[in-house]
Structure 1
Amino acid sequence: MTPRTGPTPTRTRLSAEERREQIVDAARRVFIAHGLGGSRTRDIAAEAGINEALLYRHFDSKEALFETAIVDPLRAAVAHLAEAAGDPPADAESSLEEMHERTRMFIGDLVTVMSDIAPLLGVMIFSGEAPGAQSFQSTVAPVLDQVADVIRKNLGWWDHRAFDPDNVVRLLFGAVWFEVTANRLGERSLDTVTFVDELTDTLIFGLAARP
């Protein structure tokens, strides 16, 4: 008989919450790598190191996993951005300089948030399936509208040219998402401070009333 050379390793038993988080982390990696349409529950289970039956004990469908792994983090992020957009200034002493600083702070927050959620947002936008489109409409679209509403409330506090706040917000989000994505893909290195300052100047001074 071969003598035992050491104690038998014990397998750590995960709590239900820990197991669920393990599956969600694996799902996020698979969704980012393959998109919603190209991801299968058996691939997610394999990535998590479990069998598919155990996965279904925690999530009853791929769409439920998509909601938890992709949509929930986006929902939390855009809620933060909506809060960061703020309310109109409290007094009539606000100036172009204050609008510039408030915009700069918001764009800085947007870059920080987008650095975390850019891959998740890409999965949602390019999924080509109903759950992705529905999630975008229920999660991201409302915050774009909310930020545009904040801009409308601030329009009377500084001299500006006529512009459509909805277009400006989508231009802003698109520019930040593309720049962060290009940085992730190694296409260019993102100098966050310079990017935020330049984008702020482009928006504020580009929209300011011409002398």
Structure 2
Amino acid sequence: MRVHVADHPLVAHKLTTLRDERTDSPTFRRLADELVTLLAYEATRDVRVVPVEVRTPVSPATGVRLSSPKPLVVPILRAGLGMLDGMVRLLPTAEVGFLGMVRDEQTLTATTYATRLPDDLHGRQCYVLDPMLATGGTLAAAIRFLVERGADDITAICLLSAPEGIERLERDLEGLDVPVSVVTAAVDERLNELGYIVPGLGDAGDRLYGVV
């Protein structure tokens, strides 16, 4: 598994404001959207393309376009929805599927409660959107779910990650014969006893949408 931490001043600047407890939900949503677009730029470096010939006003030229089947963007509900616009802004021709997963706050075990995805993902590159890679259980379960449907290349985009979550992913996905990458704005210090990232930014879903 490959982990890429986006080392860029704009990424650090936006992340700092997201961390600030004084940042209100509208500002948080806007900055998360902007940050995801920056992370998506890094995450799509290996997006699959095919050569294509075009004609400029001056002469013929060789370029590329996204190959088929199209990439699939999969936000994990609910917090992953707050990352969707920023991702499809950079990759507007991608298709979008949805995966609803919830973590039991006592056992920290993730279970699937909703899916809206193609049954057959063979040959598909998938980009999974999950703001917080904390314990890693939810993301590991989501990746395995996509692989079981045939996805053959998966990149997870996370605003923040914890060392424990990265270790859990590596452990749970060991032996998986599919390339997996994680692109994140930062790897923080640790998890606390409640499974929250420290220093983190709090509950991403609550900060995006309010407490419900």
TM exceeding 0.5:
no
Q: Which has the higher helix share?
A: 1
Computing the radius of gyration from Cα coordinates, the structure with the larger value is 1
For normalisation by structure 2, the TM-score amounts to 0.30
- Scaled by the length of structure 1, the TM-score of the pair is 0.30
